[in-house]
Amino acid sequence: MSAPVRVPAPAPAPVRARAAGRAVVLLALEQVRRGALVVALVAAALTAVVAASHDRVAGDPATTASLRVLAGNPAVRALFGEPAALGTVGGYTAWRAGTVVAVLLATWAVLVTTRTTRGAEESGAWSLLLSGCLPLRSVVARHLAVLALAPLAVGAAVAVALRLAGAGTAAAAVSGAGTALVGVLAVALAGLSAQLLPTRGGAAGAAVGALSAGLLVRAVGDGVDGLSWLRWASPFGLLELSRPAAGDRVAPLLVLAVAATALGAAAVAAAGRREVGEGLWSRRAVRRAPRGGLGSVEAFALRRCLRPVLAWSAGIGAYYLLTGLVATSVTGFLDEQAGFAGTAARAGFGGLDSVEGFSASLFGLLPVPVGAFAAARLAASTAAEADRRSVLLAAQPVGRLRLLGAELTATTAGTLLLVSVAAVCTWAGTSIGGGGLGLGAALRGTWNTLPVALLAAGAAALAVGCLPRAVVLVGLLPVGGGFLLRVVAESAGAPAWVVDLSPFSHLAAVPLVPADRAAGAVLTALALALAAAGALAHRRRDLLG
């Protein structure tokens, strides 16, 4: 019993901390690198395709002049930003693709940051890590540092794509740096919200909300003459103010860099002041009496759907309210300037000369966020299965078809609500902004897009059955992939059958023209078939976890 126990001498503390720090950096790299590569490729491809269309659209001096007049309208500027140096590849691409690429990168940055920090902490994956010799503050700081590398890589890819497409070196560098810095700022912002809020969903929602507010601030700054200084308060405004090929200004980029650094420092400081597993903003720990939505698996699925639906409604509603507000102004302006409608159509903004056409073209974007919502909800249900939250429900006398059916029902109800919110907000916006679009027409327009969003739900359901680890990716294929395919194929002048592969090619411009009922029925039937196949596969497979 009393045999002497030899305790190995511990390594000196700095050596241990250095090795642990390196291990944490490698862990973070491993979680980020694949996604970063995909985002860099998509960003570079999008930039290259738009840059390549420059000669066709903006190379003609008459068209460029027309576009410049078009952009003189405040409402058009609010929606699409202020164009500069449209005659150059760098200026034209920054205007057409810059914001889209930045939004894409920022959204991904928020999701990956909250997943690898708060998500890992929430699921307990960090417990072992944090019991080592590195404090929470260092682990968070190292993750944020690694995560910030990803937007830098994406920015570099954008700069290279621009340069190869013929943009000037300075314009390419400013565009790339601006994109990268917006991404780094999104990482820092999400890092901070992940310290303040105790759940991954809450942290991601708050950060996406803040970025959406940034987009709105940019729109207001561009649209209202006296408020153009507001753009200095928005990351997307600063990106615009850097003016690639039209001044190549460094000051806005410096502001972005300082803001990102400050947010990152705040995130690290917040991590040092809170307890593991908690947010800096604490929550109530006691709650009496059960709330509603617990009476059946269907009610419970709806209950879990409620908060995400409200969050997505706020984002989608704000966008369509804004577009509704400016719709009358834009279309009235176009109507006065005979001939610009054709120019706008050639530039990819067709049918903008009437409120119906303008609204219809914006409703055409709606399936992207609504489909993403559907994919995210079904991914949440497989996440619950994988981390065994749903074991207790699965052990109830409830079949798999009913369990997945409840999720699909709640998700479909959510998509119906989201498209209706978009219609009501557009109608409200146009009513305030001068009228022109009835509520019925708005509802017909947004409901017309529903089959494409349902296609995303169907694809996601199929993945729940067959590829449960890739539900978001498969779910986004019809809407994200379909949308990009159409944009790229049309810009590149691809054959019609390639364009037709995208479900967006089969959406009629409702309320400008009547709905294409046959196409809607085919898309809906396809969505149902995918969902049914997914449900059958889900019934037959082993549960995760």
Partner 1 sequence: MDGPALHVEHLTKRYGDLVAVDDLDLEVGAGEVFGFLGPNGAGKSTTIRVVLGFTRPQAGRVRVFGVDAADVVHAHRLLAHVPADVALWPQLTGEEVLHLLAATRPGTDTAYRAELVERFGLDPSRPARTYSTGNRQKVALVAAFATRAPLLVLDEPTSGLDPLVEQEFRETVRRAREDGQAVFLSSHQLAEVEAVCDRVGILREGRLVEVAPVRRLRALHRAEFTVDFTGPAPRLSGLAGVGPVEVLAAGRVRFAVSGSPAAALSALAAARVSALDVREPGLEEVFLEHFGQRSPR
Interface ranges with partner 1 (CB under 8 A):
122, 198-199, 283, 285-291, 294-297, 300, 304, 384, 387-389, 391-400, 540-543
Q: How far apart are CA 416 and CA 397, in angstroms?
A: 30
Amino acid (one-letter) located at 464? V
Closer CB to partner 1, 178 or 414, in the complex:
414
Which CB sits closer to partner 1, 279 or 520?
279
Q: Closer CB to partner 1, residue 61 or residue 397?
A: 397
Sequence-ordered alpha helix ranges (H) in 58-199: 61-71, 74-80, 89-93, 99-114, 120-122, 127-130, 136-164, 169-196
Number of C-beta neighbours around residue 495 at 10 A = 8
Nearer to partner 1, 1 or 9 (CB): 1
Shortest CB 144 distance to partner 1, Å: 24
Query: Minimum distance from CB of 199 to partner 1 (Å)?
Result: 7
Cβ-contact 239, 215 below 8 angstroms: no
Cα 82 from chain centroid (whole Å): 22
Q: Which is nearest to 111 in space by CA: 168, 194, 43?
A: 194
Which CB atom, from 27 or from 380, has the smaller least distance to partner 1? 380
Residue (7 or 286) nearer to partner 1, CB: 286
Q: How far is the CB of 1 from partner 1 (least distance, A)?
A: 11
Instruction: Give me the least distance between CB of 136 and partner 1, in Å please.
Output: 18
- DSSP 8-state class, residue 84: -
* Nearer CB in complex with partner 1: 18/539: 539
Please count the other Cβ atoms lying within 10 Å of the Cβ belonging to residue 369. Answer: 17
Residue 285: CB minimum distance to partner 1, A: 6
Pairwise CA distance, residues 454 & 17, whole Å: 50
Cβ 384 to partner 1 shortest distance, Å: 8
DSSP letters of 158-193?
A: HHHHHHHTT--HHHHHHHHHHHHHHHHHHHHHHHHH
- Looking at beta carbons only, is 384 or 519 nearer to partner 1? 384
Least CB distance to partner 1 at residue 395 (A): 4
Measured from the CB of residue 387, what is the shortest distance to partner 1 in angstroms?
6
Measured in whole angstroms, the distance separating CA 306 from the mean position of its chain's CA atoms is 20
Pick from 515, 222, 223: nearest CA to 356: 515
**Contact, 416 vs 338, CB < 8 A?**
no
Please, are residues 167 and 245 in contact by the beta-carbon 8 Å criterion?
yes
To partner 1, the closest distance from the beta carbon of 166 in angstroms equals: 52
Nearer to partner 1, 3 or 285 (CB): 285
Residue of 193, 208, 175 whose CA lies nearest to 103: 208
Cβ nearer to partner 1, comparing 8 with 397: 397
Contact 343, 67 (CB under 8 A): yes
Task: Report how far apart, in Å, the C-alpha atoms of 359 and of each of 325, 483, 514 are.
Answer: 11, 18, 14
Name the minimum Å distance from CB 27 to partner 1. 23
Which CB sits closer to partner 1, 273 or 388?
388
In the complex, what is the shortest distance from the CB of residue 254 to partner 1, in angstroms, rounded to a whole number?
41
Q: Based on DSSP, count helices (H) and strands (E) in the chain, helices before strands.
A: 25, 0
DSSP state letter for 388: T
Say if CB 415 and CB 450 are below 8 A apart: yes
Q: Least distance (Å) from partner 1 to the CB of residue 329?
A: 44
Cβ atoms of 117 and 140 within 8 Å: the answer is yes
Number of C-beta neighbours around residue 515 at 10 A:
18
Closer Cβ to partner 1, 169 or 296, answer by number: 296
Question: CB of residue 442 vs partner 1: minimum separation in angstroms?
Answer: 35
Query: Are the C-beta atoms of 457 and 475 separated by less than 8 Å?
Result: yes
The answer to whether residues 132 and 74 touch, using CB atoms and an 8 Å cutoff, is no
Query: What string of DSSP letters covers 427-477?
Result: HHHHHHTT----HHHHHHHHHHTHHHHHHHHHHHHHHHHH-GGGHHHHHHI
**Is residue 371 within 8 Å of residue 457, measured between CB atoms?**
yes
Nearer to partner 1 by C-beta: 189 or 197? 197
